[in-house]
Structure 1
Amino acid sequence: MGDILAHESELLGLVKEKDLVAAFDNGDQKVFFDLWEEHISSSIRDGDSFAQKLEFYLHIHFAIYLLKYSVGRPDKEELDEKISYFKTYLETKGAALSQTTEFLPFYALPFVPNPMVHPSFKELFQDSWTPELKLKLIKFLALISKASNTPKLLTIYKENGQSNKEILQQLHQQLVEAERRSVTYLKRYNKIQADYHNLIGVTAELVDSLEATVSGKMITPEYLQSVCVRLFSNQMRQSLAHSVDFTRPGTASTMLRASLAPVKLKDVPLLPSLDYEKLKKDLILGSDRLKAFLLQALRWRLTTSHPGEQRETVLQAYISNDLLDCYSHNQRSVLQLLHSTSDVVRQYMARLINAFASLAEGRLYLAQNTKVLQMLEGRLKEEDKDIITRENVLGALQKFSLRRPLQTAMIQDGLIFWLVDVLKDPDCLSDYTLEYSVALLMNLCLRSTGKNMCAKVAGLVLKVLSDLLGHENHEIQPYVNGALYSILSVPSIREEARAMVP
């Protein structure tokens, strides 16, 4: 009796496999995934990485089926339905693979007007892609069928030891690789930090020298030579110290520019274009989950692009299509996401704005709309739920402060008072918040209007900055020194400082 039941179960499994393959060949999406969920257990669908990847590619197969196999132009309504089905999958179950580099380009597929002509999806439309995927499906179904006919205890016994061994090997390999990268990045960080501190020191000396020239003191060639040698790389110092005549005008700056290593240009493919009208519509009208996902993808598209032509192309596409609605005066705009009721949407919007602000063209674009600065200042003062949101808003404002008109607006809005109040208790702040707050305060204090603002609360500003001088975070010292150096040029603040000395 048991053999008969087992035989019937095996036959039923073969019928289901045949139906699945037939639905795959016919592009019958609904039938296929109904059978898929019935035939493949949820533990395998949700827990097996190969099954998850296979399911992802199966969804792509059905999404582009009409584009590949329709005779003539595919039916628009049916095509939109399949693309919508794929889009829903990406927003729900497929979102788990959004962190995987292999699948990242395919998240743009629903928003690309004609995927067949884009290089990112060229592989999907090759004749060999569908047969290879079908072969993977058949092998997977055969493996699942074989596993289901094996006693569960025997399967667990056989697989457990082997899988544990493989997992340990993978984890060990990942650990070795992570440690190797960590050492490399630490070396780079230490070098950049040392160069940065050296640059700040040289800058301070040059400022002192400029002040001295105002008083009529001359800068000697020997002094200029010593400064320039400090700026050159170690390999060039020995030869330059004795072979270059720094008394000739323009020599120092020419040699400094020449010391920059030329960057080798390489061909970088352009990313596929997007349907920005559809994107913006989904950012305004879509679910919070979809909004967060799109904001993250848009930021990654910008930040992971290759510096140079590719990144400039991405940014220019964002700007020319007014991605953030900076040129729009509609009440419902993408910028309003900064005030979303969803913490995640607010955070991802702040991250995207911060990424824009990191680039000069991005800052120029954001500066076109005066409401952007007001919204960021409001979010900075109101945000108390999400530290990451506030950090990204603060980072964007600090980068905004590099533009003179935005500096003026921030000073007039009383941002200096808010920064001083926050910096009264630095131990409660994250390193990022502390560093960017002090850096922003220094930038605002460089302006005469900023110094005058500080003069209104001179005692508090001096106390906060003097306390920060002894803070354990040494990264803030150049900014604290810069702020003090600037505001102490105001006589009333100097008098206040003298009064503080016992």
Structure 2
Amino acid sequence: MSSREAAKMGDILAMEADLLGMIKEYLKVGEFEETVHSFDKECKNKGKLVPKPQGNTLRDSKILIIQKDLLSSFDDGDHKVFFELWTENVPSEVRDTDAQAQRLEFYLHIHFTIYPLKNHPGRHDRAEFEDRISHFKQYLETRGAALSQTTEFLPYYALPFVPNPAVHPSFRDLFQDSWMPQLKVKLEQFLSVTLKPSNTPRLLTLYKEGGRTTKEAMQQLQLQLVESERRTANYMRKFSKMQAVYHNLIGITAELVDSLEATISGKMISPEYLQSVCVRLISSQMRQSVAQSTDFTRPGTASSLLRASIAPQRPKEVPMLPSLDYEKLKKDLVEGSDRLRSLLLQALRWRLTRSLHGEQRDTVLQAYISNDLLERYGTKQKTVLHLMRSKNETVRQYAARLINAFASLAEGRVYLSQIPFLLKLLTEALRREEKDSLTRENVLVALQKLSLRRSQQTAMIADELIGWLVDELQDSDCLSDYTLEYSVALLMNLCLRTKGKRKCAENAKHVLKVLTDLLGHENHEIRPYVNGALYSILCIPSVRQEAREMSVEEILCCYSKEENPELNRQIEFIIKQLNSAEEEGPESDDEDEEDDDEEDLMETDLDKEEILQPQPRELSGESLLTTEYLGIMTNMAKVKRRSAPPPQPSVDEPLQRPVTPGSHRNVNTM
């Protein structure tokens, strides 16, 4: 046997041994003990070499080394080594999609940028700082650009343009002794979770990577590629057309400049020449036949036609969407497969979120309500709303998304509030779903929007939702900014009611501790709701007494030193409430008071992170509805539009009427 053949045989034996090792690892993880014993015995009889399963020992040691190197380069300020290790070892899907990872990466870039100024503020380190500033600018223009619209990070986009950040008031927190250790703790926690070794057998990993998952991903990518190519071809056609028009205009402009120069030297321009130029000019904007049949000898004709060609067009009449067969829809939503249910829930939501604001959207919602889409009057054991209890996570998520879309519109909230068991389904899902799931997020946001209505507030308070919210907000760092804002806003809306305040008074110390901690949260969007909740519950004498014992006034005074006049004025009102001697105010729960609930709260977040993608030749969205569920056209009665939005309180005072984050931001913008 030649040396080449021997080497080839050795490679085959090594591959066979590695494959046998993967089989044994899979059997051991699956606890097939007798099979493992028989497998070992038979391999031994056949003279097959089976390597011992590697286990997690090697992977654990490698991960520990990587973690140690990352933390060491963090301490040394070695940004090049750190970000090389970061890019190699933190999965790209985590770095690109996980909000926590993106926030941490932003602060890490700040840490390495200001490191020379913090440790050795000398002339040499100043030059190093300038070099790092250029790296930071590059990051802000690339990966960091995604966070430019976030209030938390917006001030740091000015960092590269500040001559001495160490003395600038906007960046003084970065130079505190506690800032770097706190960031390091967050980094350690993130690495311990992200770089955790996997217990998945290698054989299963190979199957997943080379099996159906990859095939489905390829199909989806192919669909996206075809769509992208179609759009590209369309844009190229438009570009070529615009380029031709542009070249024509440049040529005509050059001729007109020549003509103007000729008139200066006394040469006359003939009417025929002007006519030909105008025809060419107008032909680029309008049909050639129109240009040739127009008399341009009349002064102002050409200029009038040109101005008319670029005048804004009158808005077209908005078409109404086709009617649907709602009985068939509801039947398939209850009895269809999980895949069909999910696609229908998605399509029905898209009808609301993608319709044009105004008459078109009102007509869609009115059709849903008049046909009782969610089966408010349903007497069957299983209705569309019971999809919230489906065993399929996608069905539950898309049912929650549709309910959230209903809750985004005033008439939709009226409809939902008339369903007796809806709140039970929603609060049940709130307590059952995983913390970071989109299902729970949509349920929470829907509840917050429903809390604009007094009847729903009363039911939520009775269902102990205040205690649940306070416990959730105790660990606010685990919540996304979106979830955090709606959680605090929901708590504030419930605290505006007398029963809500009394519920807080039952555990006043815990509630006050959570609310005062939230005042220091880095997400400043939640402060108006925290202030509103504090102001409300402090009208209860027992809560005021507890607040005095906890030195809440001193805590509030610390925050009033910030350069935020609006926040300072609100804190003044809260401190005044804290020191008042008034008894508890009048009962508010039994008053015959109307709901100030007229807002359209439809958000783009309703359609974010769609996990449901159509397969090849599978109908979805509007095409699914109009192909399979087209109904008889009916003339829907137009929805009465409500008049003006409710009056808003002065920005000086803490909020004292129910709001949602979306509506509050709109009011502030106005």
TM-score by length of 2: 0.36
**Which structure is larger by alpha-carbon Rg, 1 or 2?**
2
TM-score by length of 1: 0.48
Question: By percentage of residues, which structure has more helix?
Answer: 1
Higher relative contact order (CA 8 A, sep 6+): 2
